[in-house]
Structure 1
Amino acid sequence: MLFNSAIFLLGLLPIALAGFFALGLAGRRKLAIVWLTLISLVFYGWWNVAYVPLLLASIVVNYAVGAILTRRKVKSLLIAGITLNLLLLGYYKYAGFLVVTVSDVLDLGLPVPTILLPLAISFFTFQQIAYLADAYEDVAAERSFANYCLFITFFPHLIAGPITHHKEMMPQFDDARIFKPQPQMLALGGTVFVVGLFKKVIIADTIALWANPVFAAAGKGDALQMFEAWGGALSYMLQIYFDFSGYSDMAIGLGMLFGIRLPFNFNSPLKARNIIDFWSRWHMTLTRFVTAYIYNPLSLSLTRRWLASGTPGLRRGKTSPAAFAVLLALPTILAMVIIGLWHGAGWQFAAFGLVHGLFLTINHGWRMLKMRWQWRVDSDRPIHFVPSVLMTMGCVMVGLVFFRSPDLATAFHLLRCMAGFNGLGFHSSELLDWDTVQLQLLLLTIVWFLPNVQEWLRRYETGLGQVDPATWLDRKLRLDSRMFALQPTPAFAVVTGLIGFLAVTRTLSAAPTMFLYFQF
């Protein structure tokens, strides 16, 4: 089921709210939790009910393993639990890809297994791995099976995140305030939700009409010229930006309707001045997970081995090239390749992760060189920060070419076109015309110069976690997001109402489209 569908807006959501608050007001809080879990399972099973037992089995096994780990610190059990989760993910998501790869490399002609990917398996697998690790470290301990079920299945974040931690959700499930309607939470949640819905159905779905033909043409091997190719890459970047931003807002808004705050997952990443800053703003909870459970342990292990070996290269303020490559570049690239493959089973996703790993390594290396040279750049000057933002956006577009392409051949062909190998002009006015350019400029203006939802609602607590209330670009352009902050005035009510009317009308009048992150 999709958030941007009539059956959700007019059916499941009102039923979920009515049942949850009715049970809560009657003092049946445990039943209210069970009710919300059942609604979440209906939401999940609407796509394919056959995979509901798989989700439930995963929940039962991980809850049991976690319960044992909270009492006995058995490292072998932790490893077994994590391995079981990874095997489940590997079978459903990567078995077909591995068979095709082995068959192609060895020319075996093996039949490709038909395995339908369960919805959201990447998200609930990572979430439960984090729970097991936290249980082993005494960070998480859950005694209520009902609460744990809701922690995993809560439908606002079940399909495409944010990836939540046990310690940030369980205290909220035990908070008596969530079981009765809170006017401010309902008003704020509804506002955030309709803004996200507007981003999805009005903006993202519209710009997709210009992105898709360019990638389709590249897939056929058409000789696209440079401006057409860059126009398609820019359109897709804007599409996925507003699609994922819209989903993230809708997830937070839906959580607030039930009195629950989810962690922030998106914070104006196209205002980032470098690729490190970008990944601190894009899919923030995935970056948090990979940093905590993959990058940090790997980096720490490599550092310990390096120091134990007695190999020189680590001195205060200086790092040898060899130490840099092993202790920073290697874990960074490996973590990013894992992020790429987490998004999909294909070499183009591995290339997406590899490209970003290289970008991050170069970024870290540049920072270290500036520190060694004691080179302080006056970043307040537009001559420095404007090129930084544009260069970062260009790197993001290059990475997204791999992300969007169906295979490596298509990605490399489009990159060649972007490099101007087929000329600088236009192959077809249907792929990039003045209307497209105007729309792109309008959307870039929104992205760069308007506040995001967190800034717009800065007077209120809408989500969990700390986000910079004014991004780096905002400060350099002397934009004051306080002037955009939501005020409980008739004017703001009219603006919000208009946004909601347009979004809901579009939703009810057109067939719903899948969120891009639903396929992961």
Structure 2
Amino acid sequence: MLFHSPEFLFAFLPLSLLGYYLLGRLPNKLWAVGWLVAASLFFYGWWNVAFLPMLLISLGLNYLLGIMLVETPRRWLLLAGVAANLAAIGFFKYAGFLVEILNALTAADVPVPHILLPLAISFYTFQQIAYLVDCHEGRIGRPNPIRYAMFITFFPQLIAGPIVHYREIVPQIERDETFRIDQAKLVLGFTVFCFGLFKKIGMADTLAPLAQPLWDLAAGGEAAYLAFAWRGAVAFALQLYFDFSGYSDMAIGLGLMFGILLPFNFDSPYKSQTIIEFWSRWHITLTRFLTAYLYNPITKTVMRRRMERGQPVWNPRKPQVLPFLVMLAFPTLVTMGLAGVWHGAGWQFIVFGLLHGAMLVANHGWRATSAGRARIPAPLSSLLSPVKVLVTFLAVTVSFVFFKSPTLTDALTVVRGLAGMGEHGGYLYLGDTVVVLFGLFIIWALPNTQEWVGLKAHTAPKAPARERARFAAFYWKPSPTHGLMVGAVLCITLLRIFGSPPAEFLYFAF
């Protein structure tokens, strides 16, 4: 069931809200939470009911492990739980790829298994790994089984995130006011949902046909000429952003309609001036997961061992090459390499992750040099900012070629075109170019969704007063202007929905 499908919009969502708020009037709020769990399991099973047992088994085992870790924290038990979760992902997602590698290295002829990937296994597994770590570290108490099930299965974020923590969601559903109808939250959530719907239907699905011909050429071994290649690559970079950030907006909007605030997952990433800034704005909940549960532990382990041996540790004020390579470059490359593998089984995903790792290392290395730390005069900095934004965007666009390509060979063929080494492709129609330029205008000139509706200022009270005032100007208000805007956006998207079959979200593949 897709968020933009008629059965979701006109049947599932209204019935889910109705049952949730009716049961929320009862003294025991667990009835409403249980209703939401049942609705979420129905939503998940709608895709393929065969996936449901895997989700339920994962829920049950991780819940029991969590109780054991809360009562008697044991490191070996935590490691066993994490290993079991990773083994599940490894079997379903990477078994075929590993067999292909084995055959290539040993000239064996082992049949490559074709295993059906359970929907959203990467997302709900990461959430449960974070939950187990929090249980072991004493950050949460003994969980209630129904609330735990709701934390994992909550349908707005179940399929493609945001990746949430137990302590972000469960405290909200422990408060009685969450189950009371809040007209402001309902309308605000509906507004955010509509903007996300427009991003997906109005922008991402419109850009998709402009990007695909570039990869169709690559599948035949043909590299596109320079302009055609860059038009297609930029169109895909925009499609991916509008598709995934549109899903995240819809998830946040749906959460608000149920009285639950989910974390932001995007914050205008294509306005970033460096690759470090990009990863603080793109897929934010994945970045924080990788930082907290992979990058930081690796860095701390390396630092501890170097200190035990009396070796120098990394000091940004007095940078040295070896500590930089060992304590910053190594953890970064490992983390981003595994992030690439998390997205998919294939050499192209490994290259995607390592490419971003290399860019992050280069960015950190530049910052550590005297030139990188030099203070640039304000007038010159203002002039350089658009250049840095453009360079970062183009670098990310090239990396996304590997993300989209079905094989590494196809990705390298597309890159040949981006380097001006191709000669194939079709006409660049003016209308198509206008669509791409309109997408660039949206990402660079307009506020993002949380800025439009004032959520960013509301959830970032530590921001400077000037920033809060700027965002406050976009607060949603119950005014005719805002109503007409939301109504127009909804009409456009509904016309598109009924005019053509809905397309799946790109991140459903991961």
- Amino acid across the alignment from 2:323: A
Query: Which residue in 1 is equivalent to 2:49?
Result: 49
Mapped to 1, the partners of 2:173 and 2:153 lie a distance apart of 13
**Per the alignment, in what secondary structure is the counterpart of residue 25 of structure 1?**
coil
- Asked whether the equivalents of residues 5 and 497 of structure 2 are also in contact (C-alpha less than 8 Å), the reply is yes
Query: Which residue in 1 is equivalent to 2:435?
Result: 439
Mapped to 2, the partners of 1:81 and 1:461 lie a distance apart of 38
Query: Which residue in 2 is equivalent to 1:211?
Result: 211
Query: Which residue in 1 is equivalent to 2:140?
Result: 140
Mapped to 2, the partners of 1:468 and 1:52 lie a distance apart of 42
Q: 1:386 to 1:135 in 2, by over 3 A?
A: same
1:311 and 2:301 matched: no
Q: Displacement, 1:140?
A: 1.8
Mapped to 1, the partners of 2:485 and 2:80 lie a distance apart of 53
1:337 and 2:337 matched: yes
Query: Which residue in 2 is equivalent to 1:452?
Result: 448
1:428 and 2:425 matched: yes
Query: Which residue in 1 is equivalent to 2:489?
Result: 499
> Which deviates the most, 62-71 or 103-112?
103-112
Mapped to 1, the partners of 2:336 and 2:481 lie a distance apart of 45
Mapped to 2, the partners of 1:507 and 1:79 lie a distance apart of 46
Q: 1:469 to 1:508 in 2, by over 3 A?
A: farther
> Which deviates the most, 70-79 or 285-294?
70-79
- Asked whether the equivalents of residues 156 and 251 of structure 2 are also in contact (C-alpha less than 8 Å), the reply is yes
User: Considering only aligned residues, what root-mean-square deviation do their CA atoms show, in Å?
Assistant: 2.1
- Amino acid across the alignment from 1:40: S
Query: Which residue in 1 is equivalent to 2:96?
Result: 96
Query: Which residue in 1 is equivalent to 2:289?
Result: 289
1:368 and 2:343 matched: no
Q: 1:316 to 1:401 in 2, by over 3 A?
A: closer
Q: Displacement, 1:429?
A: 3.2
> Which deviates the most, 445-454 or 362-371?
362-371
Query: Which residue in 1 is equivalent to 2:503?
Result: 513
- Asked whether the equivalents of residues 458 and 469 of structure 1 are also in contact (C-alpha less than 8 Å), the reply is no
1:110 and 2:110 matched: yes
**Per the alignment, in what secondary structure is the counterpart of residue 318 of structure 1?**
coil
Query: Which residue in 1 is equivalent to 2:253?
Result: 253
- Amino acid across the alignment from 1:428: G
Q: 1:175 to 1:405 in 2, by over 3 A?
A: same
Q: Displacement, 1:312?
A: 3.8
Mapped to 2, the partners of 1:404 and 1:460 lie a distance apart of 31
1:280 and 2:280 matched: yes
Mapped to 1, the partners of 2:82 and 2:475 lie a distance apart of 44
1:378 and 2:377 matched: yes
Query: Which residue in 2 is equivalent to 1:188?
Result: 188
Aligned counterparts, 1:385-400, within 5 A: 385-400=385-400
Q: 1:29 to 1:485 in 2, by over 3 A?
A: closer
Q: Displacement, 1:305?
A: 1.3
Mapped to 1, the partners of 2:264 and 2:233 lie a distance apart of 26
> Which deviates the most, 223-232 or 279-288?
223-232
Mapped to 1, the partners of 2:47 and 2:460 lie a distance apart of 31
Query: Which residue in 1 is equivalent to 2:358?
Result: 358
> Which deviates the most, 493-502 or 276-285?
493-502
- Asked whether the equivalents of residues 151 and 169 of structure 2 are also in contact (C-alpha less than 8 Å), the reply is yes
Q: Displacement, 1:390?
A: 0.5
Taking only the aligned residue pairs, the percentage that are identical comes to 46
TM-score, normalisation: structure 2: 0.96
Q: 1:280 to 1:509 in 2, by over 3 A?
A: same
Mapped to 1, the partners of 2:300 and 2:472 lie a distance apart of 41
Query: Which residue in 2 is equivalent to 1:220?
Result: 220
- Amino acid across the alignment from 1:42: F
Mapped to 1, the partners of 2:8 and 2:264 lie a distance apart of 23
In structure 1, runs of 5+ residues without a counterpart are none
Q: Displacement, 1:68?
A: 0.9
1:334-381 deviation per Cα after TM superposition (whole angstroms, max 9, x unaligned): 10011111111111111100000000000000111137x751123553
1:415 and 2:415 matched: yes
Aligned counterparts, 1:463-478, within 5 A: none
- Amino acid across the alignment from 1:429: G
Q: 1:461 to 1:468 in 2, by over 3 A?
A: closer
- Asked whether the equivalents of residues 367 and 373 of structure 2 are also in contact (C-alpha less than 8 Å), the reply is no
Q: Displacement, 1:73?
A: 1.4
- Asked whether the equivalents of residues 338 and 350 of structure 2 are also in contact (C-alpha less than 8 Å), the reply is yes
**Per the alignment, in what secondary structure is the counterpart of residue 2 of structure 1?**
coil
TM-score, normalisation: structure 1: 0.94
Mapped to 2, the partners of 1:136 and 1:450 lie a distance apart of 43
**Per the alignment, in what secondary structure is the counterpart of residue 47 of structure 2?**
coil
Mapped to 2, the partners of 1:310 and 1:80 lie a distance apart of 33
> Which deviates the most, 159-168 or 306-315?
306-315
Q: 1:418 to 1:173 in 2, by over 3 A?
A: same
Mapped to 2, the partners of 1:466 and 1:226 lie a distance apart of 46
Mapped to 2, the partners of 1:379 and 1:362 lie a distance apart of 24
Q: 1:110 to 1:468 in 2, by over 3 A?
A: farther
Mapped to 1, the partners of 2:311 and 2:343 lie a distance apart of 37
Q: Displacement, 1:492?
A: 1.6
Q: 1:486 to 1:184 in 2, by over 3 A?
A: closer
Q: Displacement, 1:387?
A: 1.0
Mapped to 2, the partners of 1:507 and 1:224 lie a distance apart of 32
1:204-252 deviation per Cα after TM superposition (whole angstroms, max 9, x unaligned): 0000010011111112111311111111110000000100111010000
1:202 and 2:192 matched: no
